[in-house]
Amino acid sequence: MCRPEHFDVSYVINPWMDPSKPVDTALALLQWEALYSLYRSLGHRVDLVNPVPGLPDMVFSANGATVVDGKVLGARFRNVQRAAEAPAHQAWYRANGFTEIRDPLHVNEGEGDFAVTRSWILAGRGFRCTPEGHQEAQEFFGRPVIGLELVDPRFYHLDTALCVLDGDEIMYYPQAFTPGSREVLARLFPDALLVDQQDADVLGLNAVSDGLNVVLPEAAQKLAGQLRTRGFRTHGTDLSELLKGGGSVKCCTQELRF
């Protein structure tokens, strides 16, 4: 994770961002601290990457890399405003004992567009990540990568429209995808939890699950009830200030898989 010490909305690279709306950085920091403390209370170790002045979106650390089997595929951002985040994240991995680190040739924005299940790596495209980035991930990780086309600019990253719950169990918002991608998801995940527009519109799918506990935006009330019916424990949290930048729980959380 990365503290939002420099968080602001000073440019527009997704539909959630509006520089005319004031940002309360102190409130964003308080909300982030609550998420950080929640993870620790659930028994998770949380490592921190240092925030860099001039990089207001660095709080969205999920975009910094994808880590599978201890191998690190770095990010290559589409937008110039975020480009300098990639080397900052790679420097953290090098300093913390990771040895297999790839500086990508093609655009990918880390776990924004890569979701790792037991059997596959699901990969979003259409707004940020590219098909070439998908191929690069498959070659590097040696796992099958399933490309999924996003069609709604509000759901510009896969992690705004889909979340891995446990193993090959997922939840997603069907209308964020093309018809063909919806068919692929239905074939691969016939028992997936389908989320409605109301919960998708508050970025309810921008959640993190450890297989039992699901941390999600507190506004996604119906979704929380659906998850509890499936046996998950839900933990709602308020990241409304960070939502002004187009991110929530998952965007703030990079998962390290060994």
Tell me the three-class secondary structure of 165-201, residue by residue: EECCEEEECHHHECHHHHHHHHHHCCCCEECCHHHHC
Q: Please report how many Cα atoms fall inside a 13 Å half-sphere around the Cα of residue 227, on the Cβ side.
A: 33
| Residue 231: count of CB within 10 angstroms of its CB | 8
Distance of alpha carbon 141 from alpha carbon 106, whole angstroms: 15
Token output for 23: 């940002």
Distance of alpha carbon 185 from alpha carbon 84, whole angstroms: 34
Residues 6+ apart with CB under 8 A from 43: none
- Is residue 251 part of the annotated active site? The answer reads yes
- Is residue 134 part of the annotated active site? The answer reads no
Domain boundaries, the chain: 25-252
Q: What is the pLDDT of residue 129?
A: 95
Cβ–Cβ under 8 Å, residues 217 and 35: no
Q: What is the pLDDT of residue 252?
A: 98
Which amino acid is located at 234 in the chain? T
Which of 89-106 are b and which e, b meaning 16 or more Cβ less than 10 Å from the residue's Cβ? Answer: bbebbeeeebeeebebee
Look at residues 16, 75, 33 and name the one whose alpha carbon lies nearest to residue 206.
Answer: 16
Token output for 189: 């995940």
3-state helix, strand, coil in the chain (%, to 5): 35, 20, 45
According to CATH, the superfamily of the domain at 25-252 is L-arginine/glycine Amidinotransferase; Chain A (3.75.10.10)
Candidate list 2, 129, 163, 251, residue with the active-site label: 251
> Which residue is it, tokens 């399933």?
146
Distance of alpha carbon 155 from alpha carbon 121, whole angstroms: 18
> Which stretch of DSSP H or E encloses residue 139?
helix 131-141
Residues 6+ apart with CB under 8 A from 52: 6, 58, 84, 85, 88
Q: Please report how many Cα atoms fall inside a 13 Å half-sphere around the Cα of residue 248, on the Cβ side.
A: 30
Cβ–Cβ under 8 Å, residues 209 and 44: no
Instruction: Output the tens digit of pLDDT for each of the chain's 258 residues.
Output: 999 999 999 999 999 999 999 999 999 999 999 999 999 999 999 999 999 999 999 999 999 999 999 999 999 999 999 999 999 999 999 999 999 999 999 999 999 999 999 999 999 999 999 999 999 999 999 999 999 999 999 999 999 999 999 999 999 999 999 999 999 999 999 999 999 999 999 999 999 999 999 999 999 999 999 999 999 999 999 999 999 999 999 999 999 999
Distance of alpha carbon 249 from alpha carbon 240, whole angstroms: 10
Which amino acid is located at 145 in the chain? V
Candidate list 157, 163, 235, 252, residue with the active-site label: 157
